Amino acid sequence: MANGLTNQYSLIIKSFGFTTLQTTLLGCVNGVTAFVSLATAAIILAETRNCRAWLSVAAYIPPIVSCILLLFLPWSNRWGLIAAIWIRATGGIPYSVVMIWAANCSAGHTKKTTVIGLYHVGYGLGNILSPQLFQPQYKPRYIVTWAVILGIACVLPMMIVLYLRWYLQTENKRRDALAAQGLINEVGVIKHDSQSSDSVSEEVVDARQLDLTDRENLAFRYVL
């Protein structure tokens, strides 16, 4: 829902009182901050384990601060307002992190591809709806716009990410307890029908080869 900002940055920056040339130059900073923040996130993920949720939550903090500044800073403080636009760049981190996280937490080829497909459907719907937040009647402060983005695109997803981590961690502990009791079967049986006869052969395989979902395969563990 915050992606409408990408197409509106130049108009928003210019509304702060900058010239067209200044708007173009200042808009370039958004690309730099986005690149630096994403590169930093990639390094953190490479050097740590099970920190996807924490990284995503931390990445939502600057956009929350940004929305608050854009809501309450005086209109005359244009450099404060432009700085609030710049620090929003970290908001792109959770999109990338959670997309991979969703795939990693989905077992079975069918479910995994479905999850990724639905994720992009949601992304597309957000891109369709988000430009509607920038209605002419909200100019120049866009109070309603920033309030909606603060709630729907910052605070709400942060809460969802925290809940997901708690839920997945709890589920991992439950499965570990079941495994300790020997109640989890990590293998399965595939039946092969013979083309030339009525005989049926059976093959014992790893449970991960059965296209079971993460809910069906209790040997699966969620990354955090």
The arithmetic mean of pLDDT across residues 34-63, rounded, is 94
How far is residue 66's CA from residue 127's CA, in Å, rounded to a whole number? Answer: 20
For residue range 189-208, list pLDDT tens digits in order: 555 566 665 666 555 556 66
Lowest-confidence pick of 59-63, 170-174, 217-221? 217-221
Number of separate domains in the chain:
1
**Does 211 have pLDDT greater than 80?**
no
**Percent share of the chain, pLDDT over 90:** 42
Instruction: State residue 168's pLDDT score.
Output: 96
CATH number assigned to the domain comprising residue 22: 1.20.1250.20
Residue 221 lies in a domain: no
Reported confidence tier of residue 18, pLDDT bands at 50, 70, 90: confident
Instruction: State residue 130's pLDDT score.
Output: 86
pTM confidence score: 0.84
**What is the extent of the structural domain holding 59?**
4-178
Residue 39 lies in a domain: yes
Instruction: State residue 192's pLDDT score.
Output: 55
Instruction: State residue 150's pLDDT score.
Output: 94
**Does 121 have pLDDT greater than 90?**
yes
* HEC per residue, 103-165: HHCCCCHHHHHHHHHHHHHHHHHHHHHHHHHCCHHHCCCCHHHHHHHHHHHHHHHHHHHHHHH
Instruction: State residue 159's pLDDT score.
Output: 97
Q: Select from 29, 35, 32, 5 the least CA-distant residue to 152.
A: 5
Residue 73 lies in a domain: yes
Residue 156 lies in a domain: yes
Residue 195 lies in a domain: no
First to last CA, the chain: 25
**Does 222 have pLDDT greater than 80?**
yes
Instruction: State residue 28's pLDDT score.
Output: 86
- Classified as helix, coil or strand, 200 is strand
The arithmetic mean of pLDDT across residues 20-39, rounded, is 87
Instruction: State residue 16's pLDDT score.
Output: 77
**Does 36 have pLDDT greater than 70?**
yes
Summary mean pLDDT of the chain: 86
Residue 223 lies in a domain: no
Residue 84 lies in a domain: yes
Residue 213 lies in a domain: no
Which residue carries 């989905």 as its tokens?
Answer: 106
